[in-house]
Amino acid sequence: MKRFIEGENRSQATLLPEYLDDYIAEDNPVRVVDAFVDELDLRELGFEGADPAATGRPSYHPAVLLKLYIYGYLNRIPSSRRLEREAQRNVELMWLIGRLAPDFKTIADFRHDNGEGIRNVCRRFVQLCRELKLFTQAIVAVDSSKFKAVNSRDRNFTPGKVDKRQEQIEQSIRRVLRRLARHLGRARRMPYRSLLRSQIHRNPPEQLYECRCLHVVDELLDASVPKMACNSRAARPRTRLPRHAASARCLR
């Protein structure tokens, strides 16, 4: 392949092998992870296995698995199986954990058994950022998830909206009671109950819609208007006499 940039021959031997550290830049975030974890007291933070057992097969140091876990969190690799593969092919992970390649079961067990220790590490990291004044009142970092929900303005309530809605209901009740009292006061001067009911039904529809209780008004009128109407002479019902009784009264 002439006139193209050519790579090195895979079978070419070198007299001066390259260092793994040469592949990691000075400003690479894995260097921060390495320095941060090395300064932690994992025994005090509550990690299991900080003290090696006297017998049995040697285990991975908790610092190695913690570096692997933090690297996966920073690079959005939550799966233990994917972390296992990345440890075998990722140059950054090879540098970070010293070419170790723990299997997925070891990574998953470390995450399961050291939940309290991992939370303490996150808390310690936040304290470190505050000590270094990396957090200010103008910067807020939130780690969350977005879920699509069906929730309109009329279906969600806050304490302020509930108080405002309750005040609106009380005002509506007061308006209805004032109108009812005003119309019942006029009923004392009306001879017939039908006239009073017609006056109520002449109100604008939007005003009647606020109380939604016209049937209650009708029932109140049926129960109260006859008693009040009988107090006035004009509203007393006239009884019609039979024809023979009327003629007898005239003869007297």
Q: Exposed (0-12), middle (13-18) or buried (19+): which is 47, by Cβ within 10 Å? A: buried
Residue 6 in contact with residue 81, Cβ under 8 Å?
A: no
Provide the residue count of the chain.
Answer: 252
DSSP 90-136: -HHHHHHHTT----HHHHHHHHHHTHHHHHHHHHHHHHHHHHTT---
Per-residue pLDDT, averaged over 204-232, amounts to: 49
Residue that wins the pLDDT comparison between 184 and 215: 184
Q: Is residue 106 located within the same domain as residue 50?
A: yes
Q: Is residue 167 located within the same domain as residue 208?
A: yes
Per-residue pLDDT, averaged over 24-45, amounts to: 93
Q: Is residue 182 located within the same domain as residue 79?
A: no
On whether residue 99 sits in a domain, the answer given is yes
Which uninterrupted H or E stretch holds 220? helix 214-229
Q: Is residue 112 located within the same domain as residue 183?
A: no
Count of CA atoms in the C-beta half-sphere (13 A) of 125: 13
Residue 92 in contact with residue 30, Cβ under 8 Å?
A: yes
Predicted pLDDT of residue 204: 47
Report the percent of the chain where pLDDT is more than 70. 67
Residue 66 in contact with residue 121, Cβ under 8 Å?
A: yes
Q: Is residue 124 located within the same domain as residue 32?
A: yes
- Residue 200 CB contacts under 8 Å (≥ 6 apart), including other chains: 183, 214, 217, 221
Domain count, the chain: 2
Distance of CA 163 to the CA centre of its chain: 21
Q: Is residue 35 located within the same domain as residue 126?
A: yes
List the domain range (segments joined by +) for residue 178: 160-229
How far, CA to CA in Å, does 30 sit from each of 70, 92, 233? 9, 7, 101
pLDDT, tens only, 38-86: 999 999 998 988 888 888 888 899 999 999 999 999 999 989 999 999 9
* pLDDT higher than 60, residue 189: no
Q: Is residue 92 located within the same domain as residue 31?
A: yes
Q: What is the mean pLDDT of the chain?
A: 76
Q: Is residue 70 located within the same domain as residue 172?
A: no
Residue 66 in contact with residue 37, Cβ under 8 Å?
A: yes
pLDDT, tens only, 97-130: 999 999 999 999 999 999 899 999 998 998 888 8
